Amino acid sequence: MKKLLCTLSILVIFLALNTVSASAAVNGVVKVGLRYGSSAVTSANLENTQSSGYSVGYYDESRNFISLGSISATAITMVPGGDLGAYDQSGPYGSFDEAASAAAVNGGWPAYVGGQFYARWRGGSSHGAASVAVTLTGSSMALFEFDCQGLYDLGVLPAGGPTWFKGYKYAGGFVYPRVTGGGLYVFNVVGMEDYVKGVLPHEMGVGWPAAALEAQAVCARTYANVTKKHLSAYGFDVCNTTDCQVYNGINASGPDTDAAVDATAGQCVWYRGALAETVYHASDGGATESAENVWGSAVGHLIGKTDPYEGSITIPNYSYTVTYSPSELTWVLQNSGYSIGTVKNAYVSERTATGNVYKVTFVDTTGKSLTVKGETCRLAFYSTTYGKSVKSMRFSINGDTGGTASGYYVNGSGNSISSVSGAYTISGTGTVAAYSGNAPYAVTSSGTSALDTTSGASSAPSAAPGSFVITGTGNGHNVGLSQYGAKAMAEQGYSYRDILNFYYTDITIG
Q: What is the pLDDT of residues 390-422, one digit of tens each?
A: 999 999 999 775 443 344 545 444 444 545 555
Least confident window among 128-132, 144-148, 242-246:
128-132
The predicted pLDDT at position 179 comes to 87
- Whether 1 shows a pLDDT value over 90: the answer reads no
Categorize the per-residue pLDDT at 29 as very low, low, confident or very high, splitting at 50, 70 and 90.
Answer: very high
**Cβ–Cβ under 8 Å, residues 267 and 510:** yes
Pairwise pLDDT comparison (121 vs 128), residue with the higher score: 121
- What is the structure's pLDDT at 83? 86
Distance between CA atoms of residues 150 and 156, nearest Å: 17
Q: Identify the pLDDT of residue 182.
A: 79
Of the listed ranges 188-197, 254-263, 416-425, the least confidently predicted one is 416-425
* Contact in structure between 382 and 389 (CB atoms under 8 Å): yes
DSSP H stretches of helix in 246-401: 255-263, 291-295, 326-335, 376-379
Span 135-158, pLDDT tens digits: 999 999 999 999 988 899 999 999
| Reported confidence tier of residue 441, pLDDT bands at 50, 70, 90 | low
Round to whole Å and give the CA distance between 83 and 132. Answer: 9
Cα–Cα distance measured from residue 194 to residue 208, given in angstroms and rounded to the nearest whole number: 19
* Best CA proximity match to 397, nearest among 377, 369, 414, 424: 377
* pLDDT category of residue 338 using cuts at 50, 70 and 90: very high
**Does residue 18 surpass a pLDDT of 70?**
no
The predicted model gives 381-385 an average pLDDT of 97
Query: What value does the mean pLDDT take over residues 324-353?
Result: 96
Q: In 3D, which of 462, 454, 458, 429 has the Cα closest to residue 441?
A: 458
| Whether residue 50 has pLDDT greater than 70 | yes
Residue of 407, 381, 408 lying closest to 469 (CA atoms): 381
Contact in structure between 272 and 300 (CB atoms under 8 Å):
yes
pLDDT tier, 427 (very low <50, low <70, confident <90, very high otherwise): low
Other CB atoms within a 10 A radius of the CB of residue 494 amount to: 19
Range among 49-53, 124-128, 471-475 with highest mean pLDDT value: 471-475
pLDDT at 133: 95
Q: Is 126 exposed, middle or buried (0-12, 13-18, 19+ CB in 10 A)?
A: exposed
DSSP class of residue 398 equals G
pLDDT of residue 488: 98
Span 455-480, average pLDDT = 74
Of 156, 150, 147, which is closest to residue 187 (Cα–Cα)?
Answer: 156
> Can you tell me the distance from the alpha carbon of 491 to that of 464, in angstroms, rounded to the nearest whole number?
42
Higher-confidence residue of 161 and 316: namely 316
Q: Name the band, by pLDDT with cuts 50, 70 and 90, for residue 267.
A: very high
For residue 169, pLDDT beyond 60: yes
Whether the CB-CB separation of 357 and 286 falls below 8 Å is answered with no
- Cα–Cα distance between 155 and 146 in angstroms, integer? 9
| Residue 445, pLDDT above cutoff 60 | no
Q: What is the pLDDT of residue 181?
A: 73
Query: Would you place residue 443 in the very low, low, confident or very high pLDDT band (cuts 50, 70, 90)?
Result: low
Residue 245 has pLDDT above 80, yes or no: yes
Q: What is the overall mean pLDDT for the chain?
A: 86
- Is the pLDDT at 457 greater than 50? The verdict is no
Model confidence at 39: pLDDT above 80: yes
The residues pairing with 87 across neighbouring beta strands, listed in sequence order, are 122, 126
Eight-state DSSP code of residue 10: H
Kindly write down the DSSP assignment for every residue of 209-265, as one continuous string. Answer: -HHHHHHHHHHHHHHHHH--TTHHHHS-SEESSTTS-----STT--HHHHHHHHHTT
pLDDT > 60? residue 16: no
Q: Where does the pLDDT of residue 229 fall: very low under 50, low under 70, confident under 90, or very high at 90 and above?
A: confident
4 pLDDT higher than 50: no
Asked which of 42-51, 90-99, 359-368, 467-476 is least confident by mean pLDDT, the reply is 42-51
Compute the distance between CA of residue 238 and CA of residue 126 in angstroms, rounded to an integer. Answer: 37
**173-176 β-sheet, strand order:** 65-71, 54-59, 154-158, 173-176, 186-191, 29-35, 238-239
Whether the predicted pLDDT of 449 surpasses 80 = no
